[in-house]
Amino acid sequence: MNPDPLDLWRRMMLIRQCEAQLNDAFAKNLFPGYIHSYLGQEACAVGVCAALEDSDWIVSTHRGRGHYLAKGMALKPMMAEMFGRATGICGGRGGEMHAADPTKGILGGNGIVGAGMPIAAGAALSAQVEGKGRVAVAFFGEGASNNGSFAETMNAAAAWSLPLLMVCENNLYAEMTPFADTSAAPDIAARATGYGLPGEIVDGNDVLAVTEAATRAVERARSGKGPTLLELKTYRWGGHFEGDPKAYRSREEEVEWMDRCPLRCLREVLLDGRADAATLDTIEAELTEEVAAAIRFALDSPEPEPSSALAKVFAA
Amino acid sequence: MNPDPLDLWRRMMLIRQCEAQLNDAFAKNLFPGYIHSYLGQEACAVGVCAALEDSDWIVSTHRGRGHYLAKGMALKPMMAEMFGRATGICGGRGGEMHAADPTKGILGGNGIVGAGMPIAAGAALSAQVEGKGRVAVAFFGEGASNNGSFAETMNAAAAWSLPLLMVCENNLYAEMTPFADTSAAPDIAARATGYGLPGEIVDGNDVLAVTEAATRAVERARSGKGPTLLELKTYRWGGHFEGDPKAYRSREEEVEWMDRCPLRCLREVLLDGRADAATLDTIEAELTEEVAAAIRFALDSPEPEPSSALAKVFAA
Amino acid sequence: MPTRTYCWALIDAIREEMERDPSVMLLGEDVAAAGGAFGGSRGLLDAFGPIRVRDTPISEEIIAGLGVGAAMTGLRPVVEIMFMDFFGLCLDQIFNQAAKTHYIYDGMFRMPLVVRTSTAVEMGIGPHHSQLLEAWVGHVPGLKVVMPATPRDAKGLMKAAIRDDNPVIFIEHLALHRMKEEFEDGEILIPLGQAAIRRPGRDVTIVATGLMVARALEAAETLSADGIEVEVIDPRTISPLDIDTILESVRRTNRALVVTSSLKPFGFGSEVSAEITEKAFFHLDAPVRRLTPPFTPMPFGKGFEAFLHPDATSIAAEVRSLLA
Amino acid sequence: MPTRTYCWALIDAIREEMERDPSVMLLGEDVAAAGGAFGGSRGLLDAFGPIRVRDTPISEEIIAGLGVGAAMTGLRPVVEIMFMDFFGLCLDQIFNQAAKTHYIYDGMFRMPLVVRTSTAVEMGIGPHHSQLLEAWVGHVPGLKVVMPATPRDAKGLMKAAIRDDNPVIFIEHLALHRMKEEFEDGEILIPLGQAAIRRPGRDVTIVATGLMVARALEAAETLSADGIEVEVIDPRTISPLDIDTILESVRRTNRALVVTSSLKPFGFGSEVSAEITEKAFFHLDAPVRRLTPPFTPMPFGKGFEAFLHPDATSIAAEVRSLLA
Ligand SMILES: Cc1ncc(C[n+]2csc(CCOP(=O)(O)OP(=O)(O)O)c2C)c(N)n1
Ligand SMILES: Cc1ncc(C[n+]2csc(CCOP(=O)(O)OP(=O)(O)O)c2C)c(N)n1
Ligand SMILES: [Mg+2]
Ligand SMILES: [Mg+2]
């Protein structure tokens, strides 16, 4: 797997635009419910998904748009889903925390912190039984790593050598609570060894580093050697949800991390001989418009027919 | 804490007699339900409880008699409880998996594997709030260490520096399943570091080693330094319950471990200048009779009044 | 008399009980430094310090289990499980441990534990935050279950729950958090297990819980204009249920309707219906009805929720049909 | 015709489905090498190998979660949660994930998952192994819940459950494991959601589940000697409930009694009572009764259980009182 860095940048910019423009929509009161913003974490989703094929599976979280877009969910139906519209990929019934696309291997988000990990392990089990080298990825936050499901998943996946990547995006906060307040050890990766799988710390704002680590872990998984835990050190630029006053952290800390913006980091690499500023600016402008169009599409889409809520409780 | 080794031996012999004679009673069809035998693990309970005061708390498991007796529960009411009799310490309603004695700090057994650990952490929280240096102990098996509650307990206890001992009796089997079949890493102790607490492996058949390690962990806890995970390597002589044909392991393995009988090990130490064989034999004979009397007491006790089941659903 | 919101009434209750009794403490996700994910514990960390007010990891099982162990050993913990939708992660500690410990150990332990939890039903935030599972905990002997519908009740029930020696599941409606009520300061204790007659009436009894209490009252106003007088009963405690107050009413009105935000099959309405039928059958002029959302997961968005949940109009229509 | 026990009928069902469909697999504690903690999967590891039959760690949440993820991606897993009493550790995966995934994602995923579980009620092994929580799962939209009372039903319902594209909670009574029945070999499929009339009768309808079916039949024999003809209905599927069969019967008998091993408040009996009352009220000559153990945890020992649980005598007495 050797992805073109320009493609990585493009995908990160798509997510960046999506998150920034959704915040604007929220500020204008156009958005229903909460927004769990992915601003600042773009390199995590994009770096990991760059190591995957369409046929590989991912399981996302409450903070899922980055994963959805990185794994290839079409922008417009995803966006319409966020707004709960009939044109959404789930007909508007999933909403901000739930979107899926089996054709792209996207098995959904979740409103329950930690619940995605066992599900991803189940997908990895399918992959193992099938025997064609697919892998599954569980995305989750450092907060979720304090949940029992994390340990149970590591243990079972290691015991059975499941082709699973456990990707912890350590953005330092779970809602309003700093990780250090709820755990005596700072690194999630260190929890892996005791359960018999490798754990690795990666700079989650460096998309190339993430891609490389994920590629290694995917290879390990595909070749039957079992799961890997990756801890991507990153930062959630926004609050837990838009509107959160962020009293629990300093503005200095925020500035420090924003200085390490994953897009800016990659831009510097690209400008060093791989792309010129004009190209990047053009792409940015295109994506800006693409996202704006998707938001317009969502806003112009009808609300779902309320009675559609009665359907599909059971599969026929 | 510097317990007299002869006292340790006496207490281990009490448990040994209890377990052996209960097996006899079971073979004679005198016992209601299952017996989860503690034969072979006597040094674990006795070694840990030797490091404790009456005011310290323990939480036990489905395999609880060793812990109950080591922590000082009176033999007769305990025995009657095992037989579900009215004279049992819980009036016969707890039965083989449930006995408690708050006056001795015994907070109960459990039918749910892994559920005792969070409860012990709660007792440790009480101890911490009270601030008088009490500690709490969670006993559990290596099988339970695969449950999410284990990881959640380690993490929270370490984060809050709770005065908690997590005592894993690794007897190699969970019901009929060898630990190696359900985990990629052989040592439970290794899981501690990642959660920020010390984890130590101890010979669980050497009561002096267990006492020493537990004493250190208790001191650490009392002085506010937080929890410790102790992994006591030991062996369950019997099946998961009496009657289990033990098809999952070899007779050689059993013989090897029985050769390392915790009572015999200590006996050799004692005979080396601390006690003579006659004294030990006398004690053994006394305890044999004491246990036999307790079983007679249980068998002679009435069944509970069935309508007593209707009482005490709520505290008044 | 001062005016208080439902949310502040709860904070007042916990603060007063913590002042009164040093063994009361509060544990949960974001309850300390942040003052609660929804502001439901503002000021308590400052007032009582980090020993008694603690932020926990996202570990629902140990949150509940810490409460169990602490309650067995002399504390009176209030532990918060942010949403009742998360009970699937901690029910073992609640139904096997908290609920049964007093019983199994023949009364040797008390279990003065409050599990504070909430539902965001009708707030449009989707299937994992909109559930009301009072029937699950109502099915468990040894648990008490309360669900306040007004600010004053929220305060009085919380204070009583904290003083109770049994485990109490305390269910808040986030959609009521900003509801205001004028009521006296200080000591308010509402006994667990006591229903309130919110409005007297002679023609039909509505048993409504949580969000549905105000709607039932609204429907009652409309119906009153047509000469239909509805009695509205708010059980306040789901278990043990004050069935006597309900029966006394039904024996007068001869008709009953149960209205809930929770689902029908195996739900609160079925329990109330079965009890009324068993104990007041020959007073009934018509079968007891249950008005609830249809039996589906709760989709995202207020549009769906408005369609699915009972409102004053559908309640009034149901009453008319019951009287027809 | 050959004779089979309830336990072997279940093994046969799983074996036949595994032979028929390579996507069926079995996961759980002690299910592989040991052939099941109670012998409920003997021979399956040998027949199908360690890829398809696996021993799991004691990690109920991941056992259920593995089933969810595997079912979403093309397998048809049967996952075993040894006792229903342990559901407090894995309900999130069952009620938030398995039950809602098809719905939330607008039908994009199927969830052909069977959660096989059991109760040891009336086997005297105490409060953490004697619970029947069919009402909990019955309260969840998107789940199917079955509870066989005979060997043939055990086989036919298990085969149907495995072929169903929805999550099915399959509840076994260990106390029935050795029950024998003579029935045909091979393909037996009992559609989910279809009750069985175990005995026709004109005077009163008993709806009984699990262990209580045989006892209700026994009571019916006794009563028949006195000229009282009881109709006994075994719903077999708890959810979706075949209420039509029950209603049709009650419209003939005009009286109904529900008998369960599970508890009364918020239980199966309340649901059936509420449904009958709502839909056949004017056919009822008397209120629907519920006969269940009292509302307590289940203490240890067969003595207590014999006292607490309904038996043929108490069922017959209840019928007589219902007819009085
Ligand atoms: C089981 C559960 N507990 C609590 C919550 C409430 N909650 C939603 S997001 C969140 C924080 C999650 O933190 P983390 O895992 O670090 O992910 P992040 O939000 O930082 O991406 C919490 C506590 C929940 N949704 N589910
Ligand atoms: C939550 C739960 N899962 C499964 C069981 C069934 N069970 C009882 S004991 C046991 C094995 C426990 O193994 P371990 O923790 O090693 O303790 P040991 O029996 O070896 O003392 C199991 C699986 C249970 N009681 N509770
Ligand atoms: Mg985080
Ligand atoms: Mg073991």
DSSP state, B106? B
CA-derived radius of gyration, chain A: 19
Residues of D designated as active site: 60, 129
> Is the confidence at residue A29, as pLDDT, over 90?
yes
User: CATH fold of A5-301, please?
Assistant: Rossmann fold (3.40.50)
Regions in chain C scoring below 70 on pLDDT: none
- pLDDT (tens digit per residue) in A244-278: 889 999 999 999 999 999 999 999 999 999 999 99
Tokens of D258: 């529900």
Q: Are strands D168-173 and D3-5 parallel, antiparallel or unpaired?
A: unpaired
Residue D2 and residue D181: Cα distance in Å, rounded?
8
Per the domain annotation, does C117 fall within a domain? yes
Q: Are residues D55 and D176 in the same domain?
A: yes
Q: Nearest CA of chain C to the CA of D129: how many Å?
A: 10
- Closest CA to ligand 1's atom 11: A174
Domain containing residue D260: 196-323
If you count DSSP H runs as helices and E runs as strands, how many of each does chain C have, helices first?
Answer: 12, 14
Per the domain annotation, does D294 fall within a domain? yes
Average the pLDDT over A26-40 and give the result: 94
- pLDDT (tens digit per residue) in A162-219: 999 999 999 999 999 999 999 999 999 999 999 999 999 999 999 999 999 999 999 9
Cα torsion C116, C119, C123, C126: sign? positive
Per the domain annotation, does C261 fall within a domain? yes
CB contact under 8 A, D69 and A120: yes
DSSP state string for A253-299: HHHHHHHT-HHHHHHHHHHTTT--HHHHHHHHHHHHHHHHHHHHHHH
Contact D205, D253 (CB under 8 A): yes
Contacts of D70 in chain A (CB under 8 A): 122-123, 125-126, 129
Residue A314 and residue D143: Cα distance in Å, rounded?
8
Tokens of D256: 């109904």
Residue D81 and residue D171: Cα distance in Å, rounded?
10
CB atoms within 10 A of CB C196: 17
Q: Which of B93, B175, B248 sits opposite D304 (nearest CB)?
A: B93
Q: Are residues D173 and D224 in the same domain?
A: no
> Is the confidence at residue D302, as pLDDT, over 70?
yes
Q: How many residues does chain D have?
A: 324
Q: Nearest CA of chain D to the CA of A116: how many Å?
A: 8
CA A273 to chain centre: 29
Contacts of B98 in chain D (CB under 8 A): 126-127, 300
Q: What is the CATH number of the domain that holds D262?
A: 3.40.50.920
Residue A90 and residue A83: Cα distance in Å, rounded?
11
CB contact under 8 A, C61 and B118: yes
Q: Are residues D64 and D126 in the same domain?
A: yes
* Residue B54 exposed, middle or buried by CB count within 10 Å (0-12, 13-18, 19+): exposed
Which residue, C182, C210, C227, sits at the end of a domain?
C182
Q: Nearest CA of chain D to the CA of A145: how many Å?
A: 14
CB atoms within 10 A of CB A84: 29
pLDDT of residue B1: 56
pLDDT of residue A2: 76
- pLDDT (tens digit per residue) in B8-41: 999 999 999 999 999 999 999 999 989 999 999 9
pLDDT of residue A241: 80
Q: Are residues D162 and D234 in the same domain?
A: no
- This complex has an ipTM of 0.98
Residue B18 and residue A314: Cα distance in Å, rounded?
54
Average the pLDDT over A121-130 and give the result: 98
Alpha-carbon separation of residue A231 from A156, A213, A228, C147 (angstroms): 19, 10, 10, 41
- For chain B, what are the domain ranges? 5-301
Contact A170, A150 (CB under 8 A): no
Q: Are residues C106 and C146 in the same domain?
A: yes
Residue from B60, B96, B113 to probe ligand 2 pocket by mutation (most atoms less than 8 Å from CB): B113
pLDDT of residue C173: 98
Q: Are residues C255 and C165 in the same domain?
A: no
Q: Are residues D278 and D310 in the same domain?
A: yes
B38 at interface of A, judged by CB pairs closer than 8 A: no
Residue A202 and residue C255: Cα distance in Å, rounded?
66
Per the domain annotation, does C291 fall within a domain? yes
> Is the confidence at residue A1, as pLDDT, over 70?
no
Among D73, D76, D140, the strongest candidate for a mutation testing the A interface, having the largest count of A CBs within 10 A, is D73
Residues 6+ apart with CB under 8 A from D119: D83, D84, D85, D129, D130, D131, D132, D171, D172, D173, D174, D210, D261
Strands in D289-291's sheet, in edge-to-edge order, are: D196-199, D230-234, D204-208, D256-259, D289-291
DSSP state, D314? H
Tokens of A247: 């009293």
Chain A window 188-227: which residues touch B at a Cβ cutoff of 8 Å?
Answer: 190-197, 199, 226
Average the pLDDT over D190-207 and give the result: 98
Alpha-carbon separation of residue A144 from A140, A141, B197, D58 (angstroms): 6, 5, 19, 20
Strands in C144-146's sheet, in edge-to-edge order, are: C53-55, C24-28, C76-81, C114-119, C168-173, C144-146, C237-239
Q: Are residues C123 and C201 in the same domain?
A: no
Which residue, C137, C155, C182, sits at the end of a domain?
C182
Per the domain annotation, does D190 fall within a domain? no
Q: Are residues C153 and C276 in the same domain?
A: no
CB contact under 8 A, A122 and D70: yes
Instruction: Report the residue of chain A nearest D63, measured CA to CA.
Output: A118
DSSP state string for C193-209: T--EEEE--SSEEEEE-
Alpha-carbon separation of residue C34 from A181, C46, C48, C64 (angstroms): 12, 11, 14, 20
Regions in chain B scoring below 70 on pLDDT: 1
Q: Are residues C24 and C116 in the same domain?
A: yes
* C contact chains, 3+ CB pairs < 8 A: A, B, D
* D92 Cα: distance to centroid of ligand 1 (angstroms): 15
Residue D27 and residue C67: Cα distance in Å, rounded?
33
pLDDT of residue B243: 78
Q: What is the CATH number of the domain that holds D149?
A: 3.40.50.970
Q: Are residues C123 and C225 in the same domain?
A: no
| Structural domains counted in chain D | 2
Q: Which residues pair with C117 in a beta bridge?
A: C81, C171
Q: Are residues C65 and C97 in the same domain?
A: yes
Instruction: Report the residue of chain D nearest C104, measured CA to CA.
Output: D299
Contact D56, C45 (CB under 8 A): no
Which residue, D182, D212, D233, sits at the end of a domain?
D182
Residue B169 and residue C312: Cα distance in Å, rounded?
60
